[in-house]
């Protein structure tokens, strides 16, 4: 099936952190998938409203109305990941908010695709909420079933359990992780590709030195964890002051208007 227009909404996952492009911005699975869709349709139009650090209510209040107003054929939604990390967040409430957003988008005549989160078992900062992620994912599968929504199950993507699928911050996907997710999403949408996201990772020498492992953990704590904690304490977000990289539906080759 072809998709003539698509609006992607969400947080850092959909914005594309940490898949750096040639201009120093972020590419990510969404831009990669848009490139595949544009190859099949020269009139294809794409917008990406996602901003790093956004919480569920912000995505619903700020991005969903814009996506509905654009009247695309497809809207992809990934939201709730940042909320799950926050202590005391209510998984059931988050799922209810997302479900209503999906209903609103579908009421405008647009198809919806959502994402079930990856298994955070190997992610130091997030694995403590692994049970919450699993429960939230079950909600998402039920929502998809109730409303006929397509869903990309990242938890079921075994290739994402490899450390090479993740960036140095151990929170966002690497370029290769994003590439594989783009291929998996294309598969869910019925878009043919020449590559397979299931392709095994090449052999890699495993680090067994306690010193090297310990140093890597200490470096990660200093460079990534502590800044995140400081922002959280101050009530700041890494998305403060950031604007969408593709705020309007345009052909992929057009320069985004990002005022």
**Domain segments of the chain as ranges:** 5-196, 208-238
Place of tokens 């890494």: 238
Q: How confident is the model at residue 245 (pLDDT cuts 50, 70, 90)?
A: very high
pTM of model > 0.95: no
Q: Predicted confidence band at 255 (pLDDT cuts at 50, 70, 90)?
A: low
- pLDDT (average), residues 222-230: 58
Tokens of 182: 């783009």
pLDDT digits (tens, 9 = 90+) for 145-199: 999 999 999 999 999 999 899 988 878 899 999 999 999 999 999 999 999 999 9
For residue 47, give the 3-state DSSP assignment.
strand
pLDDT digits (tens, 9 = 90+) for 64-79: 999 999 999 999 999 9
Phi, psi of 236 (to 5 degrees): -100, 165
- Within 10 angstroms of residue 258's Cβ, the number of other Cβ atoms is 10
Tell me how far apart the alpha carbons of residues 255 and 248 are, in angstroms, rounded to a whole number.
10
Which is it for strands 74-78 and 5-10: parallel, antiparallel or unpaired? Answer: parallel
Closest CA to 98 of 106, 110, 86: 106
pLDDT, mean of residues 103-114: 98
The CB-based long-range contact list for 86-92 (8 Å cut-off, 24+ gap) reads 86/232, 89/132, 91/132, 91/135, 91/136, 91/139, 92/139
> Which helix (DSSP H) or strand (DSSP E) does residue 53 occupy?
none
Q: Please, what's the largest Cα pairwise distance for the chain? A: 56
**pLDDT of 129-157, one tens digit each?**
899 999 999 999 999 999 999 999 999 99
Q: Please give the pLDDT value at position 24.
A: 79
Look at residue 52 and tell me whether its pLDDT is greater than 60.
Answer: yes
What pairs with residue 116 in β-bridges? 153
**pLDDT of 259 over the 50 cut:** no
In the chain, what percentage of residues exceed pLDDT 70? Answer: 83
Q: What backbone torsions phi and psi does residue 220 show, to the nearest 5 degrees?
A: -65, -40
Q: What per-residue confidence (pLDDT) applies to 151?
A: 98
Q: What pLDDT is attached to residue 229? A: 58
Which two structure tokens, joined as six digits, stand for 160? Answer: 């994402």
**Lookup result for tokens 């900062």:** 125
Is the pLDDT reported for residue 210 higher than 80?
Answer: no
Judge whether residue 213 has pLDDT over 60. Answer: no
Q: Is the pLDDT of residue 208 over 70?
A: no
Q: Identify which has the larger pLDDT, 28 or 223.
A: 28
The predicted model gives 246-257 an average pLDDT of: 81
| 69-to-52, 75, 100 alpha-carbon distances in Å | 22, 11, 17
> d(Cα 58, Cα 172) in Å, to the nearest integer?
20
Q: Which of 44-53, 101-110, 120-129, 247-256 has the lowest mean pLDDT?
A: 120-129
Residue 115 has pLDDT above 80, yes or no: yes
Class for domain 5-196, per CATH?
alpha beta
Q: What is the pLDDT of residue 218?
A: 56
What is the model's pLDDT at position 211?
59
As a dihedral over the C-alpha atoms of residue 242, residue 49, residue 39, residue 149, rounded to 10 degrees, the angle is 140
């Amino acid at each position: 099936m072809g998709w003539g227009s698509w609006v992607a909404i969400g947080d850092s996952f959909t914005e594309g952190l940490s898949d750096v492009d040639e201009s120093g911005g972020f590419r990510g699975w969404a831009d990669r998938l848009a490139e595949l869709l544009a190859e099949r349709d020269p009139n294809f139009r794409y917008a990406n409203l996602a901003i790093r650090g956004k919480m569920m209510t912000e995505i619903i209040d700020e991005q969903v109305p814009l996506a509905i107003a654009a009247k695309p054929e497809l809207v992809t939604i990934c939201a709730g990941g940042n909320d799950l990390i926050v202590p005391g967040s209510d998984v059931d409430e988050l799922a209810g908010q997302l479900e209503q957003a999906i209903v609103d988008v579908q009421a405008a005549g647009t198809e919806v695709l959502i994402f079930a989160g990856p298994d955070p078992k190997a992610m130091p900062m997030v694995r403590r909420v692994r049970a919450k992620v699993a429960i939230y994912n079950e909600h998402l599968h039920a929502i998809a079933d109730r409303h006929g929504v397509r869903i990309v199950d990242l938890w079921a993507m075994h290739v994402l359990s490899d450390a090479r699928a993740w960036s140095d911050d151990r929170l966002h996907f690497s370029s290769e992780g994003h590439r594989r997710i783009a291929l998996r999403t294309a598969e869910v949408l019925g878009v043919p590709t020449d590559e397979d996201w299931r392709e095994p990772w090449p052999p890699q020498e495993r680090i067994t030195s306690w010193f090297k492992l310990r140093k890597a953990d200490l470096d990660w704590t200093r460079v990534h964890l502590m800044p995140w904690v400081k922002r959280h304490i101050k009530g700041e977000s890494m998305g403060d002051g950031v604007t969408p990289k593709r705020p309007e539906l345009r052909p992929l080759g057009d320069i985004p208007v990002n005022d």
